[in-house]
Amino acid sequence: MKKLFLLGALAIGSLQVIGQQTEIAQADVTQMVAKVADFTEIDTSELPEAVTNAVSTNYPTATINKAYVNDKQQYKLDVVLKDGTQGILYADEQGNWLDM
């Protein structure tokens, strides 16, 4: 009788743990899509001088291939270094780097 009760309790407990993991994973995916969709492409000549100065100061061999901006005046920069390394940088309109 004790074994039957213990088996039932373990089964119910494992169902609750599995249900919680699924909800967390779906919430993260939705949030990431919203951040990416906010940026619209602009010409690199439209970048503020502070942003271009920050890139040339911190990444002197970098070339900005594409630039994007969102409604908060945050900039997403697609850059390539002289050695061929590619990357994405985020900055605000004052040239401060952002973690996104």
Q: Residue 21 domain-assigned?
A: no
* Residue 11 belongs to a domain: no
Give the global pTM: 0.62
Does 66 map to a domain?
A: yes
Structural domain includes residue 77: yes
pLDDT in tens, 21-52: 555 555 555 555 545 558 999 999 999 999 99
Is residue 64 a part of any domain in this protein? yes
**Rounded Cα distance, 35 and 31, in Å:** 7
Question: Are the C-beta atoms of residues 63 and 87 closer than 8 Å to each other?
Answer: no
- Strand order, beta sheet including 40-42: 40-42, 63-69, 74-80, 86-92
Residue 34 belongs to some domain of the structure: no
Range(s) of the domain holding residue 78: 39-92
| 30 domain-assigned | no
Does 53 or 16 have the greater pLDDT score?
A: 53
Tell me how many helices (H) and strands (E) the chain has: 2, 4
Total number of domains in the chain: 1
In a domain, 71, yes or no: yes
Taking only the tens place, the pLDDT of each residue in 54-81 is 999 999 999 999 999 999 999 999 999 9
